[in-house]
Chain A
Amino acid sequence: KQEVTQIPAALSVPEGENLVLNCSFTDSAIYNLQWFRQDPGKGLTSLLLIQSSQREQTSGRLNASLDKSSGRSTLYIAASQPGDSATYLCAVEGGSEKLVFGKGTKLTVNP
């Protein structure tokens, strides 16, 4: 059974700092790994999707890497801003098309 773990559970940083969120998964047989953002009480917004054959994806200040063999992914956020405050969720997709999520990292960026 696939399990996804995210570390840390919560993170508080001053504005402007670069930061890294970590995700690990137990079964390397995945089609893709995705990072989502969730604001309080809201749905999920897709940030980055990395196919199993890819090593990284970039979008603006966000960069996500994937090491499938070791079951790890990182999300790098450059020059953090208060608007980045949210919960960040990592999810992997295997053969059944269902996403398996971690519990998320709650990020607070202080002005």
Chain B
Amino acid sequence: DTGVSQNPRHKITKRGQNVTFRCDPISEHNRLYWYRQTLGQGPEFLTYFQNEAQLEKSRLLSDRFSAERPKGSFSTLEIQRTEQGDSAMYLCASRGGTGGVLDTQYFGPGTRLTVL
């Protein structure tokens, strides 16, 4: 069990460019979550997958944001036409199916996005 991994760890981009982040959950975890954390704030929920189904999306997830989990394993989060306000740490977490809310969400190290 290698934990949740995220790539890249850091991304610097210019305003207007598209970026894509990847999250690999703990193997056999069927639930996957994306959060965004800005400086001095706690993480805020973005979206949640159970297997390949996207079950909930936050209002924070504007039309420029899209997340996928095509085979129920890894997930990608894409931001189109980035804005300076998108600069944040993007965190991914996963959880096994059997424990449900009895178990914690295991977080990855995050991808720090800086939009210039």
How big is the A interface, by class? 20 to 34
Question: Which single member of B40, B93, B106, B112 contacts A103 (CB below 8 Å)?
Answer: B40
What residues on A are CB-neighbors of B112 within 8 Å? 41
Size of chain B's interface in residues, with CB distance under 8 A? Answer: 28
What residues on B are CB-neighbors of A85 within 8 Å? none
Q: How far is the CB of A9 from chain B (nearest CB, A)?
A: 9
The secondary structure that dominates the A interface is: strand
The answer to whether A44 touches B91 (Cβ under 8 A) is yes
The answer to whether A31 touches B43 (Cβ under 8 A) is no
The answer to whether A46 touches B56 (Cβ under 8 A) is no
Interface residues of A in 34-74 (CB under 8 A from B): 34, 36, 41-46, 49, 51
Q: How far is the CB of A100 from chain B (nearest CB, A)?
A: 7
The answer to whether B44 touches A101 (Cβ under 8 A) is yes
The answer to whether A103 touches B56 (Cβ under 8 A) is no
Q: How far is the CB of B84 from chain A (nearest CB, A)?
A: 20
The answer to whether A43 touches B107 (Cβ under 8 A) is yes
Residues of B near any A CB (own CB < 8 A): 4, 31, 33, 35, 40-45, 48, 55-56, 58, 89, 91, 93, 101-110, 112
12 CB < 8 A contacts A-B: A4-B42, A43-B91, A43-B108, A44-B91, A89-B43, A97-B48, A97-B56, A98-B33, A98-B58, A99-B33, A102-B42, A103-B40
